[in-house]
Structure 1
Amino acid sequence: MWHDCGMEVIPRAEHQDRLARVLHTLRMCSTFYCHAELSEPWALEMPAIADSVSFHVVTAGTCWLRLPEADPIEMRAGDLALVPHGLGHDLLSEADAHHGPRVDQLPQEYVNPRYSILKYGGPGRAAQLICGIVSFDDPAARELMRTLPAVLFIGGDTLSTASSIKDTLRLMAGELSHPQIGGEAVATRLADILVVQAIRSWLMNGATTPAGWLRALEDERIGRVIEAIHHNPGNMWSLDRLAQLATMSRSSFSNRFTTLTGEAPIAYLTRWRMSIAASRLRDEDITATRLAAELGYRSEAAFNRAFTRINGQTPGSVRRRQRQ
């Protein structure tokens, strides 16, 4: 079977192999989780948090999810919604409810520094939600996050093809409704799995591939180049070498790459390298000199200039912040 991506087509199996490799990179940094027990009337503001994905699972009752300048979405028990791009949004007991207080400013029981239980609202009907904020540190995962819609909604009544999501939701609800020793740890790990399952379901079942990075990954020639950059970012890549890999002329390759990804090939390469560098500086005890050599820069000064231009801070400042 062949998959039409609007440019050249590649076998669906090869396309899914590439998606599988991207999904394999989805390593989350769990920021915070909350088990919310809410009673009508209630309204909560979820603050904007850069470079994060919020998720909400309704385990009992109903609620409404509202983003700025968008119609509210009704959520029932068993429904799941992801809000990528760090967007602020509201959770409400009624679709037309006014803004409520910021959820992080309400009193709640902190089971540990990353998990809390929130009880809030009036005397009316109850709803229960599991909410979380996660981020992705892998560069490929961050590219994937950029392609997601403003809200990724998966209804519990339409999950006939996603039994794994149903199973995870059931396990998560069970852990939190019947607390046991270590239950919050199990629930947070299930939440990580749930986010990956939701993204996978969206990728595999979406009617069309969105424009941008995923569309470029699907393209036979440009996808080949992107994977080569990801696999070996420190190679001495040039526009000529990348065009040769794509078996295209320089101008045709550059135009096609830019059309699909939204940026020129060398700009993409540089941003990719700097994303890797920033992650490694945060996670490892590594010097800018070593990173410069490993990522294909002939001098540390050139690496420092590129890093500062892309990330808005010097490699040294990132290292110092991580040590602190």
Structure 2
Amino acid sequence: MDALTGLLEGPRARGAFMIRACFDAPWAVRIEDEAPLSVMLLVRGEARIIPDRGEPLHLHAGDLAIARGPDPYTCADTPGTPPQALILPGEECRYPDGRPLNGVMDLGVRTWGDRPDGATVMLIGTYQMRGEIGGRLLDALPPLLSLTADAWGCPLTPYLMREIVRDEPGQEVVLDRLLDLLVIDALRTWFARPGAEAPAWYRAQADPVVGPVLRLLHDDPAHPWTVAALAAKACVSRAALARRFAELVGEPPMTYLTAWRLALAADRLRDTDATLASIAHQVGYGTAFALSAAFKRVYGVSPQEWRTGAAREGDASVRQ
């Protein structure tokens, strides 16, 4: 497993919000839903994604944008169009003056806006909870990124257009997995594009010394690795590996390994009912106490508090 594969294992949509938005100019929608990650694929027309901070994105048909929450932004036909709708947490929709808007612009199954055959059509998928996207992946992304149609020909667009408006048994699961595939393919393309300002760990994968070491850490995080053992695998001295790893990745090998182990533990606490002792063994800690101490030092809460909070967040999402 390489470092990118480890991160891209993270997207796991669960009842994701997906919609086909259809508009005629002038149109603008203010997004304040605080979602950890939202994907916008423009099928027809033009659109601007306007963050509160930073430069706006101008999208054309076939382009894709990914917004990393929780910062708000506006989707519009032009930067000067005032918002006609406000999207809040829990899929709540209101007019800018606060009046409820839920249901007013519904156009059928997962279709919303002015009219079903609007001049601008955008497919939108939103991960509702931060736990559905790995924290290390979110940290590696800018607040707003885009891929143009010529740089990224999405083979999923026709299938998404067909599936997003269907109301069949199991459709929610189908759309969740399609959203995961869309995000994984888009981010893989974005990280690999020419001139990409990729994270240090991504660039380091191409290094003949550090790259194999990163793969070892991701393949077997439970192994009792030491810098000396990793250096032996890389056929370099301990000092040479420590220096090169820190230069390319930005932190020492053991610091990187600790962060990776704890990220895996956080995912297992959220996604499984495994005991803390079992998780400790899986991610390379000798005892539940050792994992608990390291986890609280980095995450600020105990593993049990983390698991309880994730369960509470999931229950709230279901109620909404």
Q: Is TM-score (shorter-chain normalized) higher than 0.5?
A: yes
Task: Look up the equivalent residue of 2:123 and give its one-letter code.
Answer: I
Alpha carbons 1:67, 1:89 under 8 Å: kept: yes
Query: Structure 1 residue 23: deviation in Å?
Result: 8.0
Determine if contact 1:44/1:92 at 8 Å carries over to the other structure.
yes
Alignment partner of 2:146 out of 150, 153, 157: 153
Q: How many residues align?
A: 292
Check 1:173–1:294 CA distance in 2 against 1; reply closer, same or farther (3 A cut): closer
Post-superposition offset of 1:209: 6.3
Map 1:241-280; keep pairs closer than 5 Å. 241-280=229-268
Distance 1:245 1:46, change over 3 A: farther
AA aligned to 1:265 is: P
Per the TM alignment, residue 243 of structure 1 is displaced from its structure 2 partner at its CA by 2.7
1:121-140, Cα deviation, whole Å (9 max, x unpaired): 9xxx742221112378699x
Equivalent in 155, 158, 170 of residue 170 of structure 1: 158
Q: Within 5 A, what are the aligned runs for 1:154-303? A: 154-156=147-149, 158=150, 162-163=152-153, 165=154, 167-176=155-164, 179-182=165-168, 185=172, 189-208=177-196, 210-303=198-291
**Aligned letter for 2:168?**
G
Aligned to 1:91: 75
CA distance in 2, matches of 1:175, 1:284: 30
Q: Is the 8 A contact 1:34 1:117 kept in 2?
A: yes
Alignment of 1:68-107 (within 5 A): 68-84=52-68, 86-98=70-82, 101-104=85-88, 105-106=92-93, 107=101
* Structure 1: gaps (5+ residues): 1-16
The question of whether the paired residues in 1 share the 8 Å contact of 2:27 and 2:83 is answered with no
Contact 2:3/2:214, CA 8 A, preserved across alignment: no
Which amino acid is 1:154 matched to? L
**Which of 35, 38, 43 is residue 28 of structure 2 equivalent to?**
43
Is structure 2 residue 125 aligned with structure 1 residue 132? yes
**Structure 2: distance between partners of 1:190 and 1:155:** 20
- The one-letter code sitting in structure 1 at the alignment partner of 2:31 is M
User: What amino acid is the match of 2:300?
Assistant: G
> What code does the residue aligned with 2:18 have?
Y
Q: Which runs of 5+ in 2 are unaligned?
A: 94-100, 313-320
Please name the residue that 1:9 is paired with. Answer: none
Structure 2 partner of 1:3: none
- String of CA shifts for 1:61-118, please: whole Å, max 9, x gaps: 22111223322222223221122465432211212345665323413449xxxx9543
CA RMSD of aligned residues (A): 3.4
Give deviations 1:239-266, integer Å, cap 9, x for gaps: 2222322333333322221222222211
Match of 1:14 in 2: none
The SS at the match of 2:273 is coil
Q: 1:235 to 1:191 in 2, by over 3 A?
A: closer
- Cα deviation 1:141-176 (Å, max 9, x = unaligned): 6545544444332223x25xx54x1x3213323445
Identity of aligned residues (%): 25
In structure 2, relative to structure 1, the CA distance for the partners of 1:294 and 1:58 (3 Å cut) is closer
Over 3 Å counting, the alpha-carbon distance change for 1:237 and 1:92 in structure 2 is: same
With the length of structure 2 as denominator, give the TM-score of the two structures. 0.76
Q: Deviations over 1:188-214 (max 9, x none)?
A: 543333222222333444345624110
Partner residue in 1 for 2:112: 118
* Deviation for aligned residue 1:272: 0.8
